[in-house]
Amino acid sequence: MARNAKLESWVDEVAKMCKPDAVQWCDGTQEEYDTLAQLMYETGTFIRLNEKLRPNSFLCRSDPADVARVEDRTYISWATKEQAGPTNNWIDPNEIRTTMTGLYEGSMQGRTMYVIPYSMGPIGSPIGRIGFILTDSPYVVCNMHIMSRVGTKVLEVLGDSDDFVRGVHSLGAPLTDPKQPDVPWPCNAENKYIVHFPETREIWSFGSGYGGNALLGKKCHALRIASVQARDEGWMAEHMLILKITSPEGEVKYMTGAFPSACGKTNLAMLTPTIPGWKVECIGDDIAWMKFGEDGRLYAINPEHGFFGVAPGTSEDSNHHAMGTLRKNSIFTNCALTKDGDVWWEEMTDEAPAETVDWLRRHWEPSMDRPAANPNARFTTPAGQCPVIADEWEDPKGVPISAFLIGGRRAGVVPLVHQARSWNHGTFMASIMSSEKTAAAAGKVGELRFDPMAMLPFCGYHMGDYLSHWVEIGERADAAKLPEIFYVNWFRKSDAGKFMWPGFGENSRVLKWAFERCDGKADAVDTAIGQMPSPEMLDTDGLDVDAATLKELLTVDAAGWLESLPAIEAHYAQFGDKLPKALADELAGLRQRLEAAK
């Protein structure tokens, strides 16, 4: 098949710079995956797990200096700092291109450069997009096989178009001497860069082989670059899960949910309802791309093809369906290895194994004062294996969204659930979404850390302009067809410091109320902060929460909200004149209503 001339030219240009020993175009086949997995097994990167316990699955251990996203080395490189905005890490594009070109020069010697054609979203979907990663890491190739749609079909859909995201990734660990031994996890701990060039739709990554630093289709493309594409083209690229909810009568609705880290996002994506007759299925656990359909509604796809999840804390109790998903065909990174050839991590089982080999290849026993798995240990597993994956999760036209859920981790003030009065009010609520700092975090305990739309680390341009884009989406749409917006808080605590709401499957009670609110079938009380259910408006049959606690969960703490306003004002002040007037008006309206409610 004739290849794209612009693509060929770019690949040749990068190959001349990085000087790999060979260039291999990836075809996305199982044979390719198996061959590279075997190669990594032979070089010591992959450990093959017990075939009976975990078929076709592998464990690998990274260099201890390469275990997580490196936010301080992640840059948004617009022509001007103003375009990147106050919440992004900006670097001058000319300066960093010079620096990285020098680092890339000869960086793939002794290695193969893999050309990965990938589609974010079903191949050919009108909502999906195409990208390419040029990498010298077979680990990246195998993970991208799971996390995206890789192969020759992507090339066929692309044709001779130059509308694709260009990603270059080098481990920065050339093998300049043919006799030089390789290491199981090559990286360059001294020189790590993950740089986004939104204007040219490029991603340059150097030095790290780990996660989002190297799997460039994920946060780099699907959020940082896609958020700019979405702004320019009138759609939405959001850090959101996608749920399918079916009522006992068979009515179906789809909801997305934006939640910062440590707020139960993956658990909600695979929730098992506790209320009889209701069913929840998963479309996606992390990212949603949404475009307007011919009927004027927002349609969403999950641009990913797999789950790249944090392993510690995942268990049969916390997420039964996630555990079912990763029983086979999975890659585990920085987990512990058990004596019977399986993986283990903290909280995976009620009792820890008597002994394991930890992620740093050392003997480990439960009495030792160190974790067996790295706290950021990961699993990469096919989404199609999820026991509750929805049949339509790969529908190229997407699914129509009825509601957005948003929520941070708040011990006080924010009630269990409240609904926006309008799209702009919902945008306001999402823009002030926050979590409270704990004793483990820098800063004052209880201080708010704002994370608008859970996009703070992932927005590819000025956050003030991003908020304006949300307002503009509302202006160009039929208001009656826009999703309803609900702010939820599963993490309210009592004065004694205990969680007041049981969470997990019980969250289905809130989802049911939101589901019925979308149709106007559930009642609500008008409050200073939005529409809320009274305790009797929630389905509480069989719920183990006393009446006093439930009342407190659904009460507006007007004094607490008023005390929060200065922090919200300071949060907004950083955006200067780019803060949309609509949101300043919403803040003023909230203050007036709270003052009246005192």
Residue 374 to residue 425: CA distance in whole angstroms: 40
Per the CB < 8 A criterion, the answer to whether 157 and 124 are in contact is yes
Q: Residue 282 belongs to what H/E stretch? A: strand 279-284
Q: Which of 263, 282, 386, 459 is an active site residue? A: 263
Length of the chain (residues): 598
Residue 146 to residue 331: CA distance in whole angstroms: 9
Residue 342 CB: number of other CB atoms within 10 A?
20
Q: Residue 291 belongs to what H/E stretch? A: strand 288-292
Residue 507 to residue 272: CA distance in whole angstroms: 9
What is the separation, in whole angstroms, between the first and last Cα of the chain? 71
Q: Angle 402-411-369 (CA atoms, 0-180°, nearest 5)? A: 110
Residue 46 to residue 34: CA distance in whole angstroms: 12
Per the CB < 8 A criterion, the answer to whether 554 and 489 are in contact is no
Residue 39 to residue 288: CA distance in whole angstroms: 34
Per the CB < 8 A criterion, the answer to whether 206 and 73 are in contact is no
Closest residue by Cα to residue 58 from 271, 377, 328: 328
Per the CB < 8 A criterion, the answer to whether 444 and 545 are in contact is no
Closest residue by Cα to residue 114 from 185, 177, 36: 36
Instruction: Specify whether 386 is catalytic.
Output: no
Closest residue by Cα to residue 321 from 295, 282, 351, 284: 282
Residue 395 CB: number of other CB atoms within 10 A?
14
Instruction: Write the CA distances from 454 to 3, 113, 237, 298, 319, integer angstroms.
Output: 39, 34, 12, 19, 21
Residue 463 to residue 185: CA distance in whole angstroms: 36
* Residue 506, CA atoms < 13 Å, CB-side half-sphere: 16
Residues in a beta bridge with 279: 246
Closest residue by Cα to residue 503 from 271, 292, 291: 271
What DSSP string describes 143-183? Answer: HHHHHSEESHHHHHHHTT---SEEEEEE-S----STTPPP-
Read off the tokens for 591.
Answer: 């203050």
Residues in a beta bridge with 447: none
Backbone angles phi, psi at 86, to 5 degrees: -75, -15
Residue 302 to residue 216: CA distance in whole angstroms: 16
Q: Which residues are catalytic?
A: 263
